[in-house]
Structures are given as C-alpha cells and as structure tokens.
Amino acid sequence: MKLTMKHGEGLAAFLFLLPNILGFLLFSMIPTLASFGISFLDWGLLNSPSFIGFANYWELLTDDVFWMALKNTAYYSFIKVPLNLLLSLLLAILLNKQLHGRNFFRSVAFLPSVCSSVAVALIWTPLLESSENGLINHVLSLLGINIIPFLVSPVWAMPSVILVGLWKELGYFMVIFLAGLQGIPRSYYEAASIDGAHSMDVFLHITIPLISPTTFFALTTSLIGSFQIFDLTSVLTKGGPANATNTLVMYIYQNGFQFFRMGYASALSLILFITIFIITLVQNHYSDKWVFN
C-alpha cells in the first residue's frame, strides 16, 4: 500500500512537472542543440543549407563588427552592473529605515522594473533627444550648458543606454536587497550597538557579510541579463552611431534576420553562450571567498 502511494505521488509530481519539462525541451534545449549544428552551415533560410565546417568561427576572428559588439557588451555590463548593485543597495538601505511614506517610495522605485524594456526606451527617447526639443537638453540649455548629443554621439550613446538600463532595473534589485536586509536578525545590530560599534563598522562587518548571498544572486543575474542586452539599444540607438552601441545579441539578430546568415548568427550565439558560461563559472569559483552562508 505504501509503495503504491509513493508511486502515485511520484506520478502526480511528474505530471505537474511535465509542462515545464516539455517547455524546456521545446524552447531551450532543442533550439540550443540545433543552433550548435546550424553554426557549421551556410544557410540563408530561403536556400538549402550547405556544410562549411568551422568557416563561420574562423570568420569571427577577422570580423571587426563582432569584436566591437563584444567590447560594447562588456563595456555595458561591467559599468552598469557595479553601479546597479551599489545604487540599489544604498536605496534599499534608505528605504529599509522607518521613514514616513516609505511604502510609497518603494512602489515608485520599483515601478520602472514592471515596464517592458521597449516601453522604457520609448519613454526615454524624447527625453534624450539631441536638441533643445529633448527635455534634458532643454533643461541644460536653460542652465547655460551646451546641448549633449546623447544618442547620436559615439562617446555619449553607450553611457545614455547605461543610464536608461539603471533606471529600469534599480527598483528590482532594490527589492532583492530589501529582502536580504530584512532577513538579518536584529539581535546582531543590538549587540553591535551595545559594544559601541560605529555605523560604518556595522555596515562593513555585519550588513555586507550577511547579505553576501543576496549580493551573489544579484550579481549573477544582473551580469547574465546585461550580456543579453538588446531591447534598449535596438529602440534607443539601433546599434549606432557607427556601431557604438551594437551588442552581441543585436549582432546575432542582424545576421540572422536582416542579413539572413543563420549559420553565422548561430556561431555568434554559441560564443555568447560560452562567454556567459565562463563568467558564471568564475563567479561560482570565487564565491566561497566572499559569500557567507
């Protein structure tokens, strides 16, 4: 009887998991494996595919646009992610205090993360317009500051995208850090107060170590998401000017669905996968040195 009940429970659990398993196989595992195979082909969607071996990968070595897209992706990720984590942590600490109307301010801070990236980019496009018609430049002109070509200058375009990305994600990671902060027992702070510890010492030796698992989660997910940046650059700058904001995912899209080079796009996808995989492995390897469970 017990064995039958266990089998029944196992079958029920399997049936509940089956939709997710099928979804993973159909929309993740099989396309990933297919992409790996397609990367060895010359295929333009409308013609018959032909096997070309490692030619797509050799082409990557001399593709200047690929290296620029890789550099832009790294620039966006390694600038935005630290700023995002720092600012969201400071915001979480501020809104974790007993402030009047803090629930309202938490909601306001979190609201942009609910919006889609396309909607956020459409909101910011007129704000960052590179003339006096743009709201930010209009305010700057009133202050006697020259107009800044936010979205049309190779120097300013990527910082502008980073600014919009920060605005969108700040509230989400604020909530993550709030959860970590509220999970710290109050007794630790009370003991530190009795011992006469300064606020900075409490922050460095109690808060930071005890939210390190939360920080590790935020760091990992933020980096993975940043390396897949596409929506913001596609709407704000379309990869320009002069490929200054062209990223790996955008370049994959361009090759696959604009240039109809599915084999080359698949090779780029595999490079992106390997890059994210290596970064995640490095993070996990060194996590034991600073993440306290």
pLDDT in tens, 53-71: 899 999 999 999 999 999 9
3-state secondary structure of 131: coil
CA distance 32 to 230: 19
Task: Tell me 116's DSSP state.
Answer: -
8 Å CB contact between 114 and 106: no
Residue 43 forms part of a structural domain: no
What whole-number distance in Å separates Cα of residue 36 and Cα of residue 62?
A: 21
CA–CA gap between residue 259 and residue 253 (Å, rounded): 9
Question: Is the residue at 2 inside a domain?
Answer: no
DSSP per residue, 43-89: --SSS--EE-TTHHHHHHHT-HHHHHHHHHHHHHHHHHHHHHHHHHH
How far apart CA 208 and CA 158 sit, in angstroms, is: 30
**What's the confidence (pLDDT) of residue 68?**
96
Q: pTM for this one?
A: 0.88
- What pLDDT is attached to residue 7? 66
| Confidence band of 79 (pLDDT split at 50, 70, 90) | very high
Q: What percent of the chain has pLDDT over 70?
A: 97
Q: Are residues 96 and 181 in contact, defined by beta-carbon separation less than 8 angstroms? A: yes
Q: Is the pLDDT of residue 144 over 90?
A: no
- What DSSP letter does each residue of 89-107 carry, written as one string? HHHHHHHTS--TTHHHHHH
Residue 292 lies in a domain: no
Residue 83: CATH number of its domain: 1.10.3720.10
Lowest mean pLDDT among 31-35, 167-171, 222-226: 31-35
* Burial class of residue 31, CB neighbours in 10 A (0-12, 13-18, 19+): middle
**Residue 193, CB half-sphere, CA atoms under 13 Å: how many?**
5
Q: How many residues does the chain have?
A: 293
Cα gap 277→90, rounded to integer Å: 29
- How far apart are alpha carbons 47 and 119 in whole angstroms? 36
What average pLDDT score do residues 117-121 get? 91
Classify residue 1: in a domain, yes or no.
Answer: no
> The domain containing residue 173 runs over which residues?
63-287
Residue 50: strand pairing partners: 42
**Cβ-contact 252, 137 below 8 angstroms:** no
Domain count, the chain: 1
3's enclosing H/E stretch is helix 2-24
Tell me the pLDDT tens digit for each residue of 151-164: 989 999 999 999 99
pLDDT of 92 higher than 80? yes
Residue 56 lies in a domain: no
Residue 72 belongs to some domain of the structure: yes
241 cis-preceded (ω within 30 degrees of 0): yes
In a domain, 218, yes or no: yes
The answer as to whether 247 is a domain residue is yes
